[in-house]
């Protein structure tokens, strides 16, 4: 694997980020067409084969003949790994540069974007340690585990809610495996290779309306039938995939726990909450050039930003930046 992407003369990677339903995929395609690019996916749910309707994944015929990477790379029974993605995405960047093309990274999964672009060291993991901690959480409760985290890593405990048991377990796993606080593994905003980060945003009421329309369209296009097919491939046993927004609601409908109308409303509400979290993740990053997602001249603005920025300065920026 290349340690640096494409060398000093390579064109900066272009990253298109922001909340769900802001039109990132369309802008990424437009940029790839204009810049001679290839698209690298950074939406964690689009890693999964067969999870198409519920993730708004572009169908092959909608990709305008542009190469896409990191789509359909996992089975629904597999767990997405930031470390594995980091290695794969960086290999993609290097190969794209070797072909003389421009890498266009697109997605709203903030940690995966950071893993691809920033100098981010992924702490080790151990399934046995994680399983033991998960069992302890189930037996003693999330609050008890969070209290333990607070005693060994107060800084991490202050940023992780007790109800986020998975994150608490991960923090304790890192502490146990490395002997260092989980908070010590948090990176500065320091790019590994030159990149230009473009963020799409829109007014909240407009975004909420777009989310509602998208959710209705997903159900009308056959989200339930897609979920039934995925259940046959082991979706229930997928640690990550089974909890994806839309699919978890469809499973509840199939199991008779929710009606479809209620499931649609729940899906839209969960998607709105997710969009708020995405906004909270990306908003503090001073490197992002924010663009009005609904601007008539969006592509021209994006190209101008790329031309002006060339590359975000490579020096580190503190997280409170």
Output the pLDDT for position 311.
45
**Does domain 13-121+189-202+285-309 correspond to CATH entry 3.40.50.720?**
no
Output the pLDDT for position 5.
42
Output the pLDDT for position 143.
92
Task: Give pTM, 2 decimals.
Answer: 0.84
Output the pLDDT for position 187.
62
pLDDT, one tens digit per residue, over 244-258 is 999 999 999 999 999
Which CATH number applies to 205-277: 3.40.50.300, 3.90.1150.10, 3.40.50.11810, 1.10.287.890?
A: 1.10.287.890
Scored b (16 or more CB within 10 A) or e, 57-94 reads bbeeeeeeebebbbbbbbbbbbebbbebbbebbbebbb
Per-residue confidence of the chain (321 residues) as pLDDT tens digits?
333 444 445 689 999 999 999 999 999 999 999 999 999 999 999 999 999 999 999 999 999 999 999 999 999 999 999 999 999 999 999 999 999 999 999 999 999 999 999 998 888 888 899 999 999 999 999 899 999 999 999 999 998 989 889 889 999 999 999 998 887 776 678 999 999 999 999 999 999 999 999 999 999 999 999 999 999 999 999 989 999 999 999 999 999 999 999 999 999 999 999 999 999 999 999 999 999 999 999 999 999 999 987 644 544 454 543
The structural domains of the chain, with segments of one domain joined by +, span 13-121+189-202+285-309, 127-185, 205-277
User: Nearest Cα to 70, choosing from 31, 4, 34, 115?
Assistant: 115
Cβ contact 255:59 at 8 Å: no
**Does domain 127-185 correspond to CATH entry 1.10.1530.10?**
no
């Amino acid at each position: 694997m290349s340690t640096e992407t494409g060398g000093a003369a390579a064109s900066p990677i272009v990253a298109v980020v922001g909340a769900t339903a802001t039109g990132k995929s369309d802008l990424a395609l437009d940029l790839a067409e204009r810049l001679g690019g290839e698209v690298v996916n950074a939406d964690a749910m689009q890693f999964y084969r067969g999870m198409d309707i519920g993730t708004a994944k572009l169908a092959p015929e909608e990709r305008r003949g542009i190469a896409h990477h990191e789509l359909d790379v996992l089975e629904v029974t597999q767990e997405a790994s930031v470390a594995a993605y980091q290695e794969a995405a960086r290999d993609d960047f290097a190969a794209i540069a070797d072909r003389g093309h421009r890498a266009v990274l697109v997605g709203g999964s903030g940690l995966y974007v950071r893993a691809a672009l920033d100098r981010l060291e992924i702490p080790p993991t151990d399934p046995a340690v994680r399983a033991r901690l998960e069992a302890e959480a189930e037996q003693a409760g999330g609050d008890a585990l969070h209290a333990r985290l607070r005693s060994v890593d107060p800084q991490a405990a202050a940023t992780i809610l007790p109800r986020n048991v998975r994150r608490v377990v991960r923090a304790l796993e890192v502490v146990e495996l490395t002997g260092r606080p989980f908070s010590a593994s948090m990176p500065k905003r320091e790019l590994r290779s030159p990149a230009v980060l473009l963020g799409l945003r829109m007014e909240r009421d407009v975004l909420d309306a777009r989310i509602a329309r998208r959710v209705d369209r997903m159900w009308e296009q056959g989200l339930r039938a897609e979920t039934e097919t995925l259940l046959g491939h082991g979706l229930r046993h997928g640690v990550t995939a089974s909890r994806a927004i839309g699919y978890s609601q469809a499973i509840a409908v199939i199991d008779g726990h929710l009606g479809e109308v209620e499931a649609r409303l729940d899906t839209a509400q969960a998607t709105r909450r997710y969009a708020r979290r995405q906004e909270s993740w990306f908003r503090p990053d001073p490197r992002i050039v924010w663009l009005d997602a609904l601007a008539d001249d969006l592509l021209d603005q994006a190209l101008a930003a790329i031309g002006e920025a060339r590359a975000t300065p490579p020096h580190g920026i503190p997280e409170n930046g």
